[in-house]
Copies of this chain bind each other. A is one copy, B any other.
Amino acid sequence: MNSDKSKTLMASIRLLNEKLHFEGNVEGNTPISIDYTPPLGDNLGYTSLELFLLSFSSCAGSAILVLLRKMNKIIDKFDITSVGQRKESHPTGFSSIAMQVNIKSKNLNADEMEKVIGMIDSICPVLSMLDKNINTTINFEIHE
């Protein structure tokens, strides 16, 4: 599959018990344990919405890093924490997602970072697939 990942991606899940515990797989990777909270599940793995946050964070993070490196910024540390607020009624998807980006860089200022964040709309695939009614915010902190 690797040579085609720019066009087609594939993933599979397999039910492991009589509740909602799955093993998630993509060829060549360590399987991921996926489960839901009690009583439907047993908390034996990531929930679907947590995987969604990791998907979105890593997509946005990759977009930011690619742009910063094109600007010759030196990134010594980079992490993102994402928090999603769920709707109260079904389907309980996120009404809002807030990302907090923490960067350690000696040659990056806040204006440059604002500019980069404004550009990720055009290159982050996961963001492009989201319903525009979901409120997504990206805040950041730059440490030298």
> Min CB distance, A38 to chain B, in Å?
9
Report whether B28 and A43 are in contact in the complex, using a CB–CB cutoff of 8 Å: yes
Most buried by B among A58, A79, A88: A58
Give the dominant DSSP class at A's interface: mixed
Report whether A12 and B81 are in contact in the complex, using a CB–CB cutoff of 8 Å: yes
For A110, the chain B residues whose CB sits under 8 A away are none
Report whether B29 and A46 are in contact in the complex, using a CB–CB cutoff of 8 Å: yes
A11-22 near B? 1/0 per residue, CB < 8 Å:
111110010101
Report whether A125 and B50 are in contact in the complex, using a CB–CB cutoff of 8 Å: no
Nearest first, the 4 closest Cβ-Cβ pairs linking A and B are A48-B59, A93-B125, A91-B128, A51-B55
